[in-house]
Amino acid sequence: DAGITQSPRYKITETGRQVTLMCHQTWSHSYMFWYRQDLGHGLRLIYYSAAADITDKGEVPDGYVVSRSKTENFPLTLESATRSQTSVYFCASRTGLDTEAFFGQGTRLTVV
Amino acid sequence: GQNIDQPTEMTATEGAIVQINCTYQTSGFNGLFWYQQHAGEAPTFLSYNVLDGLEEKGRFSSFLSRSKGYSYLLLKELQMKDSASYLCAVRLTGAGSYQLTFGKGTKLSVIP
């Protein structure tokens, strides 16, 4: 299917475990982003990528790792999950800086 | 730091007009996006303003004043399906131009 997809849609994990959230887009967009959305905070940028093998930190990067070996994939890894990382995570992509961002359907992560 | 303010909640009547304001104080400015987000879903693009003035798109219009650091989204002929959160997002300049910095969103409830 064309578009941007995230997996899994829902995940429950234990404190201290490593978790990877997947993001895949079929448009070959250059720019990809990971946001988390929490009540009272809105969408906050975790990491972004301007192209394959180019990534940079956003507003709240601590505890997260990203990679982008292929243009279409942008996985987000929580190295050792904490309860404060319980959130809804959105992946997004854009073709250019003046264009809209398209969002995946989100991953609801609960850390217990 | 970057500051983007929106009202937290608004209520309006079906068939009416509602204006959702967004003010921003940022270190640079390249444009402002508006997104709609229904509960439990991903944000979807509504509009993008770069220059001062009003952009009209069907029932939705968006206005920008760069000198005042102010934008609004105008929704006409409100329908029940317009009940959603509305997010404004600023594209910054320089190194931040890749990203979108979001306000916390305005939750709009449309009542019969």
pLDDT in tens, A51-69: 999 999 999 999 999 999 9
Contacts of A40 in chain B (CB under 8 A): 104
Segment B3-33, tens digit of pLDDT: 999 999 999 999 999 999 999 998 889 999 9
The residue written with tokens 């002929």 in the block is B77
Q: Is the pLDDT confidence value at A2 over 90?
A: no
d(CA A17, CA A14): 6
Min Cα separation B32/chain A (Å): 10
- The pLDDT value recorded for residue B92 is 86
Q: Is the pLDDT confidence value at B96 over 90?
A: no
Note whether B42 contacts A45, CB cutoff 8 Å: no
Burial class of residue A31 (count of CB atoms within 10 Å of its CB; 0-12, 13-18, 19+): buried
- Tell whether B103 is within 8 A of chain A (Cβ): yes
Name the closest residue on chain A to residue B89, using Cα atoms.
Answer: A43
Closest CA to B28 of B67, B63, B65, B2: B2
- Tell whether B87 is within 8 A of chain A (Cβ): yes
Q: Is the pLDDT confidence value at A10 over 70?
A: yes
- The pLDDT value recorded for residue A1 is 61
- The pLDDT value recorded for residue B94 is 78
Residues 6+ apart with CB under 8 A from B79: B14, B110
Note whether B48 contacts A100, CB cutoff 8 Å: yes
Segment B32-68, tens digit of pLDDT: 999 999 999 999 999 999 999 999 999 999 999 999 9
- The pLDDT value recorded for residue A14 is 97
d(CA B44, CA A103): 7
Q: Is the pLDDT confidence value at B98 over 80?
A: no
